[in-house]
Structure 1
Amino acid sequence: MNNALVEVDGHRLRLSNLDKVLYPEAGFTKSEVLDYYARIAPILLPHLKDRPLTLKRYPNGVAGKSFFEKNVSRHAPDWVRTVCIETPGSSRGSDKADYALVQNLATLVWVANLAGLELHIPQWTVGPRGARRDPDLLVFDLDPGPPATIVECCEVALLLRDELAEDGIEAYPKTSGSKGMQLYSPVRVSTAERTREYAKDLAERLARAMPELVVSRMAKDLRPHKVFIDWSQNNTQKTTVAPYSLRAQPVPTVSTPLLWDEVAECQTADDLVFTADTVLDRVAEHGDLFEPLLAEDRMQL
């Protein structure tokens, strides 16, 4: 069966090209992508709620061409909630875009049917009328410069965790699903720039203290053998990959929340590679390790 008409939460959706292989190395098809997102939805949806979605679409699979999509497709169903957000400096020359808000399972299935494998979201939400709120998440994106791997990222993550703890901030780690990882903390701020300023200061401090391991500047020639702490991901114009999102790797890896014990015990890069099937098993065992990011009670930054 290559196409199907389904009903999801009272909405009818036509699913197409279900047999198309989107991950050739693993033989992972579009129907399996849809199945993963449908099964992870109870855990994933709270992390997407009210966050304007940037899709990375792979209509011909991970080996084919891809593109980011902010503006909602003109063929979007009328029940997909959208929000108009300013996009200064857009490469397409547009100063605004209509973003989808993935508020329910039907919208998530619609997104997956577009071969929107990767889900990217900002560190802030919008209100009921679409107004942008101040950031509620602090993020540190750890990017290893070869030959460094996620093993070195774990070392830096532990240092960041301890520094944050001194400020009374608890951090939660996840893999990027690619080569690096991220740390998140739920926070409250008084200005939209506060998370970026705080993250930059901490990244620069660690780079000065451990110059052989950490770099806080974006220049690529500084990164070999080190871990780049990308504090700029707290810029309100930027997004990071959502927890539990698939990634466009040779196999269907997932951006996966971690236990701190797993971070501390990581010996090889393969230790922290998780695919769609293993992530579903992890959720069955551990629940949502990122659930604290959804709490209303947040540390004032």
Structure 2
Amino acid sequence: MTPITEVDGHRLALSNLDKVLYPATGFTKGEVLHYYATVADVLLPHLRDRSVSFLRYPDGPDGQVFFAKNVPPGTPDWVTTAEVPRSEGPSRMVLVQDLASLMWAANLVTEFHTHQWVVQDPDRADRLVFDLDPGPPATVVDCCEVALWLRERLTEDGIGAYAKTSGSKGLHLVAALQPTASSEQVTDYAKQLAVTAERTMPGLVVHRMTRSLRPGKVFVDWSQNAARKTTATPYTLRARQEPTVSAPVTWEEVEECRSPGQLTFLAPDIAPRVQDHGDLLAPLFDHRSAGRLP
């Protein structure tokens, strides 16, 4: 029998709570839902007003893994949706605006991926993002070195950057922008910085996606600033063998990282971190400190 839970006045049928979704640790679907309920206060601001792409893995990372951008069939009418521009024409996507919607979406078993703009102003980006992806044998330790260079370079342009793990092998840098530039302009700026990083650190950085160029280097992916692209949302679980999280980290942790394990965070690690630090990405919501493209 599927248990029915009430969240903020909405009835939710939560299914298969004992199903193991993370084979390496035995982490179950029930634990996934508990995790999202626990981090809702820090996660929801990063989801609010941003159309969500779901990377679903209902049978765990070894089962079928697929992207769902349109509103899923059977979505309750109380879940907020919005029409958003897409290259193939306008489309309706889900907005996760509250705890009930978060728990409904988490029950689908999904990674959360969001755009760098809000639905009220899809023509203007209010986030800048770099995805630092290490090509083996490079690791997140190498990403940290690149992140520190990018942080300094962004600071010179009056843009404050913050770091989070990707929840996979790499690191994400995120900055708040005053929404005065288009996604195209932000993409151009990010590409210029990635090219400069490669010129400055040619043995460590590559700005092109070409696979043959990437072994032993950090790919500085600037392209996720494109209007159509999404990036893993802070605090989302990832579809890996273990319940890894895209976790905000301090710059001190980035500076002191000497082994990949230092920047690997699993679901049970996050609540204590939030208790100690709050949301390390909270400054992204302070519009007074948002940067402006030079």
TM-score (normalised: structure 2): 0.96
In structure 2, stretches of 5+ residues that fail to align are none
Aligned residue in 2 for 1:281: 272
Aligned residue in 2 for 1:202: 193
Q: 1:231-251: CA deviations, max 9, x gaps?
A: 111001100000000011111
Matches within 5 A, 1:77-96: 77-88=76-87, 95-96=89-90
Distance in 2 (CA, whole Å) between partners of 1:170 and 1:87 is 29
Q: Give the deviation of 1:203 after TM superposition.
A: 0.6
SS in 2 for 1:300: coil
Q: 1:234-273: CA deviations, max 9, x gaps?
A: 0011000000000111110100001111001101111100
Matched-pair identity in %: 54
8 Å CA contact 2:167, 2:245 repeated in 1: yes
Q: Give the deviation of 1:86 after TM superposition.
A: 2.8
Q: Give the deviation of 1:210 after TM superposition.
A: 1.3
Q: Give the deviation of 1:72 after TM superposition.
A: 1.1
Distance in 1 (CA, whole Å) between partners of 2:180 and 2:287 is 16
Aligned residue in 2 for 1:122: 115
Distance in 2 (CA, whole Å) between partners of 1:292 and 1:255 is 17
Q: Give the deviation of 1:194 after TM superposition.
A: 2.0
Matches within 5 A, 1:99-138: 99-116=93-110, 118-127=111-120, 132-138=122-128
Distance in 2 (CA, whole Å) between partners of 1:190 and 1:241 is 23
Aligned residue in 2 for 1:164: 154
SS in 2 for 1:299: coil
TM-score (normalised: structure 1): 0.94
SS in 2 for 1:196: helix
Q: Report runs of 4+ in structure 1 exceeding 3 Å deviation.
A: none
SS in 2 for 1:120: strand
Residues 201 and 139 from structure 1, CA distance in 2 versus in 1: closer, same or farther, beyond 3 angstroms? same
Distance in 1 (CA, whole Å) between partners of 2:151 and 2:202 is 18
Aligned residue in 2 for 1:147: 137
226, 232, 247: which one aligns with 2:238: 247
8 Å CA contact 1:44, 1:243 repeated in 2: yes
- Which one-letter code corresponds to 2:118 in the other structure? T
RMSD of aligned Cα (Å): 1.1
Give the number of equivalent residue pairs. 291
**Would you say 1:98 and 2:92 are equivalent positions?**
yes
Distance in 1 (CA, whole Å) between partners of 2:172 and 2:60 is 25
In structure 1, stretches of 5+ residues that fail to align are 89-93
8 Å CA contact 1:84, 1:97 repeated in 2: yes
Distance in 2 (CA, whole Å) between partners of 1:216 and 1:115 is 33
**Would you say 1:30 and 2:29 are equivalent positions?**
yes
Distance in 1 (CA, whole Å) between partners of 2:122 and 2:151 is 29
8 Å CA contact 2:147, 2:173 repeated in 1: yes
Matches within 5 A, 1:281-300: 281-297=272-288, 298-300=290-292
8 Å CA contact 2:84, 2:119 repeated in 1: no
Q: 1:40-98: CA deviations, max 9, x gaps?
A: 0011000100000000111111221111111111201000111122321xxxxx53432
Distance in 2 (CA, whole Å) between partners of 1:241 and 1:219 is 22
